[in-house]
Chain A
Amino acid sequence: DIQMTQSPASLSASLGETVTIECLASEDIYSNLAWYQQKPGKSPQLLIYYANSLNDGVPSRFSGSGSGTQYSLKINSLQSEDVSIYFCQQNYDSPNTFGAGTKLELK
């Protein structure tokens, strides 16, 4: 199985700040990567797919980039509603696999 390693496991940032979350795949996944946001007590929600495509309705302050084995999610101008856990997921190879998550909190 392809291992997805996310970093950091948690981070604290201030309103208006820019934050970046990284995801490292154990092998090349050819941009077959998605990012999900999960708010407390809720189901995950798709933010980004194919590494850099914004899902419908997702604010433009979210962006994704990367290729090969290294990917990142950037949140510009952090808002209070962005407090969540963020997961990456690859579907290049079966079984699709997820990162362990990054917990984002407000400073």
Chain B
Amino acid sequence: EVKLQQSGDELVRPGASVKMSCKASGYTFTDYAMHWVKQSPGQGLEWIGTIIPLIDTTSYNQKFKGKATLTADKSSNTAYMELSRLTSEDSAVYYCARYGSWDWFAYWGQGTLVTVSS
């Protein structure tokens, strides 16, 4: 069974950074890209970017370049996303997600809530 287990909710100060994780199980980690999606009340769902763990290649939504950095650790089957220079606009739930047999998000993590507040 494919599972994407995300790290816990975060409360962070404006201007700080936060790094969250997504631990994959139930499949070969390097066989699939890992995607990240932001869900905020004002902006709905937004695709942030993706990382191909096999070759450590990343692709970002232009909107999130410079904001998000995606990495992956093949030894622990874990993908990471770091968000930098946080503002209130970054307060949201962040999901990791994986394609299924076709290029659609068939598997999702449970989400990590990031709250940016002083």
Contacts and interface: CB of A to CB of B under 8 A. Distances in A.
Interface of A: 34, 36, 43-46, 49-50, 55, 87, 89, 91, 94-101
Given A34-B105, A87-B45, A97-B46, 15 more contacts: A43-B95, A43-B108, A43-B110, A44-B45, A44-B95, A44-B105, A44-B108, A46-B100, A46-B104, A46-B106, A89-B105, A94-B61, A96-B47, A98-B45, A101-B44
B104 A34 contact: yes
Contacts of A95: 47, 61-63
Contacts of A49: 102, 104
A50 B44 contact: no
B109 interface: yes
Nearest to B42: A100
11 contacts: A34-B105, A43-B108, A43-B109, A43-B110, A43-B111, A46-B104, A46-B106, A89-B104, A95-B63, A96-B47, A97-B46
Interface of B: 44-47, 59, 61-63, 95, 100, 102-106, 108-111
Contacts of A43: 95, 108-111
A100 B42 CA distance: 9
Contacts of B109: 43
Nearest to A48: B104
Nearest to A99: B44
B47 to A, nearest CB: 5
B105 A97 contact: no
Nearest to A43: B108
A89 B45 contact: yes
Contacts of B59: 94
| Residue from A45, A49, A50, A101 with most neighbouring chain B CB atoms (10 Å) | A49
